């Protein structure tokens, strides 16, 4: 009798566990974030060289990353393809995504090519790839695997910018970095800096526990509950921050502030139809009323400089927040220094 | 008869031309390739106006700025008024508690360095990063702190710094 009670209890626990498991799988759904993806691999001579930090050739590292990426991508109805550059070759033409086909394409990339006389025309590669992108409908992730080194031919940064100009929000370029030179890393960062959609990754971050899953999830899919309706993490308006290092009680723009203001102006020019708030902030040192007035005068100075240098006055509103909107902790010296800032936010 | 043969041959020849040109038109359907604007031949390239991708000196400054930016992001995270250690907990109308904190994702950092015309500020650096807002709801304040936080918003940021007397500021 005692034995049968134990059995019944065990059966009950098993049934409950199973029902919870089914409930869990039923309540989450994997939904694709993009329609197409293109893997674009650098097969230039520098990729056949050993990476300074990892002791493997960069092409082997890239193939390893791509194989792991292929395993992590959910089997949803993407259109996938894989191309190589330096020289440009099509390894897998755009087709319905198949894990096994992509695994075969990655495995088929040669890794014993020559190093010499094989520089990296990434810019030309992006031009060669454009007709492929033109043939895809919907949103596309272009994932470049490169060390960014030894570039020749067309300017790769300008070409990437030209692709964004042509496709707008329909395209996002992500670069997986195998850079082991400052120059290679700079080119990669310059391409990344062209759009805030980009997801940053390198060999180390994708090899770390959970790194590949995070990368894949950010680019390829999201898990949403069946009910209520899926809610994506909202992306807020961008904040541009800088410190102009005004002197005590000063609010006039000096020559030393101009390089920073020129960069701020260039950022605003990326969105010619947007409206912005130029916000002045102080730390909590000194009387509140004084800080309020000072922040207003400083915000106004920045607005005047921007307007006198070509930004439309109708795009800008100057506001002083004094010490009332600290972003950092006023209890520390570091925090107070960070709070003395100018922010420009899109309205 | 000769005339007929001549016109017959001409007709076959001309219709062939039409077919060939039609077939060629089908083969050369054009695509406008996205291409950057060509450089101006009137402006000779010098050390001062090199395109960024050819500028080796800028690359070393970029590496220097990247180190600075990583350290700066740690400072921003440490001092943020709503960092994880200073999370904001508010009571909701139903009596439960909601905790919220901000965290800058160091892995999202992207750096860019530009030369400037200024003699005292020869370079400016721009770091882009994503600031994530996390939230958790629980029945008590203590429960909030231990709960699993989920991202509820992403704030893109760009922070501009200047290079003066050998240091980024």
Name the CATH topology of A30-225.
Rossmann fold (3.40.50)
- B71 by DSSP, 3-state: which? helix
Q: How many CA atoms lie within 13 A of A275 on its CB side?
A: 6
- The order of strands in the sheet holding A201-202 is A89-96, A79-85, A36-42, A140-146, A171-177, A201-202
Asked if residue B20 is part of any domain, the answer here is: no
Lowest mean pLDDT among A106-110, A149-153, A231-235, B13-17: B13-17
Per CB-CB distance under 8 Å, the chain B contacts of A127 are 33-35
- Identify the band that residue A20 occupies on the pLDDT scale cut at 50, 70 and 90: very low
Q: Which two tokens stand for residue B137?
A: 């709801």
Would you say the CATH fold of A239-346 matches that of A30-225?
no
Number of domains in chain B: 1
Q: B155 φ, ψ to 5°?
A: -110, 110
* Percent of all residues in chain A with a pLDDT value above 70, rounded to a whole number: 88
Flag if A236 and B155 touch (Cβ within 8 Å): yes
Region A167-175: what's the mean pLDDT? 96
Per CB-CB distance under 8 Å, the chain A contacts of B107 are 200-201, 205
Burial category of B124 from C-beta neighbours within 10 Å (exposed 0-12, middle 13-18, buried 19 and up)? buried
Asked if residue B10 is part of any domain, the answer here is: no
Closest residue, chain A, to B122 (C-alpha): A259
How long, in residues, is chain A?
Answer: 347
Q: Which of B51, B75, B126 sits opposite A263 (nearest CB)?
A: B126
Q: Kindly report the nearest CA distance between residue B148 and chain A, in angstroms.
A: 16
Q: Scanning the structure block, which residue is given the tokens 């030209």? A: A162
Q: What is the CATH number of domain A239-346?
A: 3.30.1330.60
Flag if B156 and A235 touch (Cβ within 8 Å): yes
Within an 8 Å CB–CB cutoff, is residue B78 touching chain A?
Answer: yes
Q: What pLDDT score was predicted for residue A61?
A: 97
Asked if residue B14 is part of any domain, the answer here is: no
List chain A domain ranges.
30-225, 239-346
Per CB-CB distance under 8 Å, the chain B contacts of A258 are 116, 118, 121
What is d(CA A99, CA A35) in angstroms, rounded to the nearest whole number? 16
Of A31, A21, A15, which is closest to residue A224 (Cα–Cα)? A31
- A102 by DSSP, 3-state: which? helix
In this prediction, does ipTM exceed 0.90? no
Please write down the HEC assignment for all residues of B138-149: ECCHHHHHHCCC
Per CB-CB distance under 8 Å, the chain B contacts of A283 are none
- Identify the band that residue A24 occupies on the pLDDT scale cut at 50, 70 and 90: very low
pLDDT in tens, A196-253: 999 999 999 999 999 999 999 999 998 877 655 555 677 788 999 998 888 888 899 9
Q: Radius of gyration over alpha carbons of chain A, in Å?
A: 26
Chain B, window 99-158: residues with a beta carbon less than 8 angstroms from a chain A beta carbon: 107-114, 116-118, 120-121, 124, 126, 128, 130, 151-158
Asked if residue B43 is part of any domain, the answer here is: no
What is d(CA B27, CA A119) in angstroms, rounded to the nearest whole number? 32
> Residue B159: pLDDT above 80?
yes
Asked if residue B156 is part of any domain, the answer here is: yes
Closest residue, chain A, to B111 (C-alpha): A189
Flag if B116 and A264 touch (Cβ within 8 Å): no
Q: Kindly report the nearest CA distance between residue B48 and chain A, in angstroms.
A: 16
Stated pTM of the model: 0.80
Q: What pLDDT score was predicted for residue A87?
A: 87
More confident residue, A16 or B57: B57
Flag if A239 and B33 touch (Cβ within 8 Å): no
If one counts every other C-beta atom within 10 angstroms of the C-beta of residue A74, the result is 15
Contact residues for B100 (Cβ-Cβ < 8 A; gap 6+): B82, B87, B88, B89, B90, B133, B134, B135, B152
Parent domain of B134: 52-168
Q: What pLDDT score was predicted for residue A152?
A: 75
Closest residue, chain B, to A197 (C-alpha): B156
Within an 8 Å CB–CB cutoff, is residue B13 touching chain A?
Answer: no
What is residue B116's DSSP assignment?
-
Of B135, B139, B74, B75, which is closest to residue B106 (Cα–Cα)? B74
Closest residue, chain B, to A200 (C-alpha): B108
Q: What pLDDT score was predicted for residue A17?
A: 46
């Amino acid at each position: 009798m005692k034995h049968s009670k134990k059995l019944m209890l065990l059966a009950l626990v098993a049934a409950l566990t199973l029902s919870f498991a089914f409930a869990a799988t039923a309540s989450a759904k994997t939904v694709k974030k993009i329609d197409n993806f293109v893997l674009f691999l650098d097969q230039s001579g520098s990729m056949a060289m050993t990476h300074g930090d990892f002791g493997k050739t960069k092409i082997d590292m890239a193939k390893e990353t791509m194989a792991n990426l292929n395993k992590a991508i959910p089997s949803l109805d993407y259109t996938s393809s894989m191309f190589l550059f330096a020289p440009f070759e099509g390894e897998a033409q755009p087709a319905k995504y198949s894990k096994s086909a992509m695994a075969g394409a990655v495995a088929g990339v040669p890794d014993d090519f020559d190093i010499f006389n094989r520089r990296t025309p990434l810019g030309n590669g992006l031009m060669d790839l454009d007709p492929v992108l033109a043939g895809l409908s919907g949103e596309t992730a272009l994932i470049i695997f490169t060390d960014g080194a030894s570039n020749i031919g067309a300017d790769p940064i300008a070409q990437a910018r030209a692709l964004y100009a042509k496709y707008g929000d329909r395209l996002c370029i992500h670069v997986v970095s195998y850079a082991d030179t400052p120059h290679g890393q700079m080119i990669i960062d310059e391409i990344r800096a062209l759009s805030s959609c980009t997801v940053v990754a390198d060999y180390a971050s994708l090899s770390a526990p959970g790194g590949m899953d995070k990368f894949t999830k950010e680019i390829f899919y999201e898990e949403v509950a069946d009910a209520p309706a899926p809610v994506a993490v909202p992306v807020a308006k961008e904040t541009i921050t800088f410190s102009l290092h005004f002197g005590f009680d000063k609010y006039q723009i000096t020559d030393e502030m101009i390089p920073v203001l020129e960069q701020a102006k260039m950022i605003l020019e990326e969105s010619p139809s947007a409206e912005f708030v130029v916000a002045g902030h102080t730390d909590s040192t000194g009387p509140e009323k004084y800080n309020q007035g000072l922040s207003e005068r400083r915000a106004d100075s920045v607005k005047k400089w921007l307007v006198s240098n070509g930004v439309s006055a109708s795009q800008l509103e100057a506001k002083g927040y004094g010490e009332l909107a600290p972003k950092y902790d006023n209890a520390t010296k570091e925090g107070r220094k960070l709070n003395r800032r100018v922010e420009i936010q899109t309205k | 008869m000769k005339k007929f043969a001549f016109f017959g041959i001409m007709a076959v020849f001309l219709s062939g031309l039409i077919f060939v040109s039609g077939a060629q038109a089908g083969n050369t359907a054009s695509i406008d390739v996205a291409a950057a604007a060509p450089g101006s031949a009137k402006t000779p390239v010098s050390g001062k106006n090199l395109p960024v991708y050819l500028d080796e000196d800028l690359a070393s400054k970029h590496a220097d700025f990247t180190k600075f930016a990583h350290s700066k992001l740690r400072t921003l995270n440490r001092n943020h008024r709503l960092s994880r250690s200073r999370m904001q907990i508010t009571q909701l109308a139903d009596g439960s508690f909601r905790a919220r904190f901000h965290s800058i994702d160091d892995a999202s950092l992207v750096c860019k360095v530009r030369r400037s015309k200024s003699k005292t500020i020869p370079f400016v650096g721009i770091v882009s990063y994503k600031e994530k807002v996390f939230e958790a709801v629980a029945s008590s304040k203590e429960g909030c702190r231990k709960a699993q936080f989920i991202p509820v918003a992403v704030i893109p940021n760009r922070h501009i710094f200047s290079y003066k007397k050998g240091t980024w500021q």
